[in-house]
Amino acid sequence: MGLLWPGFLLLIGLIPLIVAWYLWMLRRRRRFAVRYSSLALVREALPRQSQWKRHLPFAFFMLALLSLVIALGRPVATIKVPAGQATIILAMDVSRSMCSTDIQPNRLEVAKEAALSYVNRQELGTQIGIITFAGFAAIIQPPTSDQEVLQDAIVGLTTGRRTAIGSAIIASLEAIAEINPSVAPVNNPDATDIPTTPVPEGYYAPDVIVLLTDGASNSGIYPLDAAQEAVDRGIRIYTIGFGTENGGIMDCYLQFGGSDPFGGGQFGNRDPFSGGFRRGIDEPTLMQIADMTGGKYYAASSASELQKVFEDLPTYFVTGDEFTEISVVFTALGALLAALAIGLSMLWHPLP
């Protein structure tokens, strides 16, 4: 808390003087009582009052004065407010394991529904991009605020083989660099007009990556190396581990309308390795990615949990400091304490 007019705090010096005057008056009354000892009989006849009842109204009055003096100084408080909407990159795992049916109808369809709901909840003007990754990562939809285009991109997601989490992070950073000129591209070190030195510790850009996966990286760049590139640019990554503990049969029948091009004729519409797919989420790595970039890790093992995760994601990711004057709070407190002091004084020490 700060003060716009700190000079008024000098008035606080009056409070000790008033307290000294009050103590002097109490001692003067005691000397007066001794000089006229005949009043002792009258005092004995009256009900005795406790010491705290005698002095509490004065204490409340002093606190009221203190609060009003602070109000004169015009105190201000620093509060955090959204600094602006972020560009959000949704990096979606589309590896074959996303066809697992442990979460009906399968993980990919449930992830699509959750992503669609998340897009629909954003304020108009929020830029969202879509990255998909299996054995490699691709920018399916560059950041846009057109929700209809984003919905079409999400609905059209299909699966591929292997999982490249690190590549997804790099592709997401490249997509952000196309929108935010202050973010250096990863694969263009010759761009001398863009700073490539790491940002100061604790600084975050207004852009974030939301990465959803149901497995462990087995292709492309090492995920933590890619995460370090995000750290150097102040980009936070929110990671989501999706799937049940026991896994399930991989069935990509739904997304291809009854003909899985990866399934092979002799296996019909089932994956030849679909006897069961364990969860296999590399949670330690996902947690470390989130921790080192300033994001957060979420785990979801059902459709409702995944919906809740997307609902809990922040709607803004960068805050700024704003100064708000709070003198009215101290004025109200001073008035309340003064009224309390007067009320208790009249109740405990009524006028004759």
Q: Are residues 149 and 180 in the same domain?
A: yes
Separation CA 134–CA 106 (nearest Å): 17
Cis peptide upstream of residue 105 (ω within 30 degrees of 0): yes
pLDDT tens-digit series, residues 16-37: 888 888 788 777 765 555 454 5
Instruction: State yes or no: pLDDT of 295 exceeds 90.
Output: yes
| pTM assigned to the model | 0.64
Q: Are residues 72 and 88 in the same domain?
A: no
pLDDT tens-digit series, residues 72-106: 888 887 665 455 567 899 999 999 999 999 999 99
Write down the mean pLDDT value for the chain.
80
Q: Are residues 93 and 74 in the same domain?
A: no
* Domain, as residue range, for 16: 2-79+322-348
Q: Are residues 181 and 209 in the same domain?
A: yes
Amino acid identity for residue 257 in this structure: G
Contact 75, 325 (CB under 8 A): yes
**Number of structural domains the chain divides into:** 2
One-character DSSP codes across 189-250 = TT-TTS--SPPPTT---S-EEEEEESS---SSS-HHHHHHHHHHHT-EEEEEEES-SS-B-B
pLDDT tens-digit series, residues 323-339: 577 888 888 988 898 88
Domain CATH for 162 = 3.40.50.410
Predicted local distance difference test score (pLDDT) of residue 90:
97
